[in-house]
Amino acid sequence: MKDISLRWIFRVFLLLLLFFTAQINYAQPATTTAQKDTLHDDFDIRNSSFLLLQPLPKGKYYQNVSIQYVVVPKDWTTSIISAPMLSYAGKYTLPYGFNLQASLATLFISYRLNLGPFWNYTVDHYHFGAGYQVAFNYGFLNQFGFKTNLTIWEQQPSIAAGYSFKKAAITVRGDLYWTNSIYQTQGGHTVPYTTSFINGYSITTALEQRLWKNRLMSFAVKLGYLRYHIIAWPAFPVNQYRYWVPEFHLGLSF
């Protein structure tokens, strides 16, 4: 009987010890770093997004850098062009939902500069916009038997729509490429082509997501239906047909 009593006393003592230990481990200070991050994280992607078409306070400047991988059609060239284009884009906000956007994409032998205004409108989490840009393309090549440079002027109207979540946003954009003039110089002789024509169009779907703090990462898939692309300008002109030209963009907004 004595042994049984000692066992019960030991079991009760062990149970009480575990109970109070659990109570001590459960209790935490009311103000911890984790609670502060959870309760006071007021990040909204609309305050940092570069791609969303939305009215923003005037006088602000936003930037985006990206790598663009273009899949060139095999009919355009005998060798596969796989080098990525580097792109820098910026926009300066204006009153009444307007902003001025510019971008420069380069492959070192190919350059494309865009500049023009956009108008933006937002209803709740839905965003809409329309823009018009002038594009200047320039390419030069003095290797592989070439001594050529090319200049192209284009107009590029655009429309876009998007939806924003708390920390992510999706945008769909359509662009039309209207070529106004092409000047190709070979060995000091310039051949002008000043008859306007529609080069083609493209549809881009882009996803932006918070990376850290107010830095955003974007991934976009762009599908163009074009007669030519500046990345493959040494093969221009190819013919009168248009080809599907996929592009993949990976960017950082800040």
Residues 172 and 120 in one domain: yes
Residues 15 and 55 in one domain: no
Average pLDDT over residues 85-90: 96
Residues 118 and 166 in one domain: yes
Average pLDDT over residues 72-81: 70
Residues 145 and 239 in one domain: yes
pLDDT at 142: 78
pLDDT band of 144, cuts 50, 70, 90 = low
Average pLDDT over residues 226-239: 78
Average pLDDT over residues 49-69: 95
CATH number at residue 234: 2.40.160
Residue 189 has pLDDT above 60, yes or no: yes
Residues 18 and 87 in one domain: no
Average pLDDT over residues 25-29: 44
In this structure, of 52-66, 92-106, 177-191, the range with the lowest mean pLDDT score is 177-191
Q: Are residues 44 and 52 in contact, defined by beta-carbon separation less than 8 angstroms?
A: no
Q: Are residues 194 and 228 in contact, defined by beta-carbon separation less than 8 angstroms?
A: no
Q: Are residues 81 and 231 in contact, defined by beta-carbon separation less than 8 angstroms?
A: yes
Helix, strand counts (H, E) of the chain? 2, 11
Residues 88 and 8 in one domain: no
Q: From the CB of residue 25, how many other CB atoms can be counted at a distance below 10 Å?
A: 8
SS3 143: coil
Number of structural domains the chain divides into: 2
Domain containing residue 212: 44-253
pLDDT at 178: 97
Q: From the CB of residue 9, how many other CB atoms can be counted at a distance below 10 Å?
A: 10
pLDDT band of 28, cuts 50, 70, 90 = very low
Residues 90 and 20 in one domain: no
Residues 21 and 60 in one domain: no
- Interval 172-186: pLDDT, tens: 999 999 999 999 888
Residues 214 and 106 in one domain: yes
Residues 82 and 118 in one domain: yes
- Interval 146-156: pLDDT, tens: 778 899 999 99
Local structure of residue 83 (DSSP, 8 states): P
Average pLDDT over residues 188-207: 93
Residues 75 and 161 in one domain: yes
Residue of 27 and 133 predicted with greater confidence = 133
Residues 129 and 161 in one domain: yes
Residue 16 has pLDDT above 70, yes or no: no
Residue 69 has pLDDT above 70, yes or no: yes
Q: What type of residue sits at position 253? A: S
- Interval 110-138: pLDDT, tens: 999 999 999 999 999 999 999 999 999 99
